[in-house]
Structure 1
Amino acid sequence: MKTDINPITGNVNMARRSFLRYAGAGVATAAVVGVTACHKDRIVVDPGGSSDIGSGDIGILNYAYALEQLEAAFYTQVVSSPYSGMSSVELTYMTDIRDHEIVHREFFKAALGAKAIMSLTPDFSKIDFGSRQQVLATAKAFEDLGVQAYDGAGYLIKDANYLLIAGKIVSVEARHAALISNLISFGSFVPDDQIDSNGLNKSATIAQVLPTANAFLKTKVTAQAFNYNG
């Protein structure tokens, strides 16, 4: 799928047909957007600048949207200011991941419509983007966190269309995680710190994930309205 990326803002322009094809045959996406538009869940915006994801399936989508915003912003910065010694192959990898994350971000934004949380402002002040070690370590942290987040929240999704799309996206995120791990240590596509004793990927709850994500966000994300019991 061809996307046009604005190198300054990191925004992506997708033809509607390509967008629907990405989501899977168009029909599933239309159903997702339709259900979202009529959903009654409320998004809470704190006067202090934080955003609450809301509840139910809308809350899960906003949760994913927040993480995709963070990842898209990070890789946009990585590509716009490559670390010292970045090879052309590594730049290609980072650019591909950036494009994936931007498409994910824009997908959730469009699907959520008026129910979406605000656009978040990242805080990467503690990251030295000139250091390969720091960039890859942060990329690993974000990718591992993202996969754990999807795995940890998947069982809470009620709508089959949402679950289908979440499954498609987390599989891409897992590929990213494997690639980044391999760049850090060749051959470590499945690092021990992400797999449990049963050979399954580790998962994390919303309450466990958000503090880590918020450490890299000026605009904080909360889940005060989220009901884990549905």
Structure 2
Amino acid sequence: MEKMSSQKECLVEENEHLDKKDLRRRDFLKFTGAGVASLALLGVTGCKKDRHDEDMGADGFYFGSGDIAILNYAYALEQLEAAFYIQVVNSPYSGISDLEKTYLTDIRDHEVAHREFFKKALGGKAISNLEFNLSGINFSSRESVLSTAKTFEDLGVSAYNGAGWLIKDVNYLALAGKIVSVEARHAALIRDLIDNGSFANMEVIDSNGLDVAKSPTMVLQAASPFIKSKIDVKDLPTY
């Protein structure tokens, strides 16, 4: 009886520890998201001009060139992630726990904040709202949703890592660095939900212990099945 009582006490203590750990993780996610949301409200360019809708040419929505093209590239990816997580939260998968729904809701809020941040920063040079094809995702399946979330988050981190050195304006670079750190935390959390302890493996960390980086060309090729709108990236810096 004493042994059973001791085991029960240990289990209670462990559960309390996990609850506190989950709470700290959630609070941190909210904190980092709030920071980006604040940046979105402040804006980068200070431009209050409404975004025009004349960016759709014969070749699709034109991203522009130089830093503007890179920002629109990031904006397009954030639009995709926001659209995905909005759908996830609006129609939760079967058997979702309250804690998982809370995590995914927090991530949704971050991605929406990121999307609005780039829209504000780009002002009149922002591309229009893109249309996405999410029909291949089974939103009622935990495996399908988390697998897609893992794909998007890993792709997002590698996209920022790969585009960082192409950005000329140091202010844009600093802000991109703040956003990619949040995306990396999303990626780690999603991986942990799928397989506890898998937040950093050789799929996303190279032999030098660094995050994998992908060129804009590679990222857009990977994202293309989900992007329904036609886009024109002929002047987007890449390698």
TM-score range normalised by the length of the shorter chain: 0.7 to 0.9
Q: Whole-Å Cα distance in 1 between the matches of residues 237 and 227 of structure 2?
A: 23
Q: Which runs of 4 or more aligned residues in structure 1 lie more than 4 Å from their structure 2 counterparts after TM superposition?
A: 18-21, 34-37
Contact map agreement 2:37 2:110 (CA 8 A) in 1: no
Q: Counterpart of 2:16?
A: none
Structure 2 gap ranges (5+): 1-33
The partner residue of 1:68 within 50, 54, 78 is 78
1:36 deviates by: 11
Q: Whole-Å Cα distance in 1 between the matches of residues 57 and 151 of structure 2?
A: 27
Answer yes or no: is 1:46 the counterpart of 2:57. yes
Q: Counterpart of 2:157?
A: 147
Answer yes or no: is 1:110 the counterpart of 2:120. yes
1:25 deviates by: 11
1:217 deviates by: 1.6
Contact map agreement 2:162 2:213 (CA 8 A) in 1: yes
Question: Structure 1's 47 and 103: CA in aligned 2 closer, same or farther, altered over 3 A?
Answer: same
Amino acid of the structure 1 residue aligned with 2:160: Y
Amino acid of the structure 2 residue aligned with 1:45: M
Answer yes or no: is 1:161 the counterpart of 2:184. no
Question: Structure 1's 219 and 195: CA in aligned 2 closer, same or farther, altered over 3 A?
Answer: same
1:74 deviates by: 0.1
Greater Cα radius of gyration, structure 1 or 2: 2
Amino acid of the structure 2 residue aligned with 1:64: A
Q: Secondary structure at the match of 1:113?
A: helix
Amino acid of the structure 1 residue aligned with 2:57: D
Q: Secondary structure at the match of 2:57?
A: coil
1:226 deviates by: 2.3
What value does the CA root-mean-square deviation take over the aligned residues? 2.4
Amino acid of the structure 2 residue aligned with 1:186: N
Contact map agreement 1:36 1:58 (CA 8 A) in 2: no
Give the alignment of 1:203-214 within 5 angstroms.
Answer: 203-214=213-224
Q: Whole-Å Cα distance in 2 between the matches of residues 195 and 174 of structure 1?
A: 12
Amino acid of the structure 1 residue aligned with 2:88: V
Q: Counterpart of 2:38?
A: 22
Contact map agreement 2:40 2:120 (CA 8 A) in 1: no
> Which structure has the highest helix share of the two?
2
Amino acid of the structure 2 residue aligned with 1:46: G
Amino acid of the structure 2 residue aligned with 1:126: G
1:228 deviates by: 4.4
Alignment coverage as a number of residue pairs: 202
The partner residue of 2:137 within 98, 115, 127 is 127
Question: Structure 1's 132 and 63: CA in aligned 2 closer, same or farther, altered over 3 A?
Answer: same
